[in-house]
């Protein structure tokens, strides 16, 4: 049975797959745009017009980009028998919700969703091995 650990944040996903004693590691980049919004015309004089930034437009675009990123990850892990999601931010939770609502067959294989710190690839590999060794 393939066992897969996915460390993810908004920037990238590191997917570690354990299968028949072999370990494979791939990285998927999210390609999310950097949404640093700088509104205003540079003038702070009262009564002067300032540019209005449409936050909802940026948030909607980010939502669509996240969905594309999550679908790419889901395609990579569809053959896994057991999955663990972990990472430093809320992205792992959003991905789990996406699996539950749009990839039910994959979501049933998720064993845990764990908050962790940022990690190197080597640390991610070790974490996944330890996780699945303890859940046997």
Give domain limits for the chain: 3-33+54-134
Q: Are 82 and 1 in contact (CB under 8 A)?
A: yes
Residue 135, CA atoms < 13 Å, CB-side half-sphere: 15
Cα Rg, the chain, nearest whole Å: 19
Asked if pLDDT for residue 25 goes beyond 60, the answer is yes
Asked if pLDDT for residue 37 goes beyond 60, the answer is no
Q: Which whole number is the average pLDDT over 20-43?
A: 76
Q: Which whole number is the average pLDDT over 108-120?
A: 96
Q: Three-state SS for 64?
A: helix
Segment 41-96, tens digit of pLDDT: 455 556 655 555 567 888 888 889 999 999 999 999 999 999 999 999 899 999 99
Mean pLDDT of the chain: 88
Position 89 scores a pLDDT of: 87
pLDDT higher for 65 or 35? 65
Q: For residue 114, what pLDDT band results from cuts at 50, 70 and 90?
A: very high
Fold that domain 3-33+54-134 belongs to in CATH:
Nucleotidyltransferase; domain 5 (3.30.420)
Position 97 scores a pLDDT of: 96
């Amino acid at each position: 049975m393939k066992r897969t650990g996915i460390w993810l944040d908004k920037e990238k996903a590191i997917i570690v797959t354990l299968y028949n004693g072999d370990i494979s590691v791939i990285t998927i980049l999210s390609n999310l745009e950097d949404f640093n919004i700088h509104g205003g015309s540079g003038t702070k004089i009262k009564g002067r017009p300032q540019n209005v930034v449409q936050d909802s437009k940026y948030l909607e675009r980010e939502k669509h980009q996240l969905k594309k990123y999550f679908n790419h990850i889901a395609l990579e892990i569809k053959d896994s028998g057991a999955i663990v999601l972990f990472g430093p931010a809320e992205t792992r939770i959003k991905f789990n919700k996406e699996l539950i609502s749009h990839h039910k067959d994959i979501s049933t294989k998720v064993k845990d969703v764990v908050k962790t710190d940022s990690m190197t690839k080597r640390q991610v590999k070790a974490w996944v091995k330890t996780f699945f060794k303890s859940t046997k």
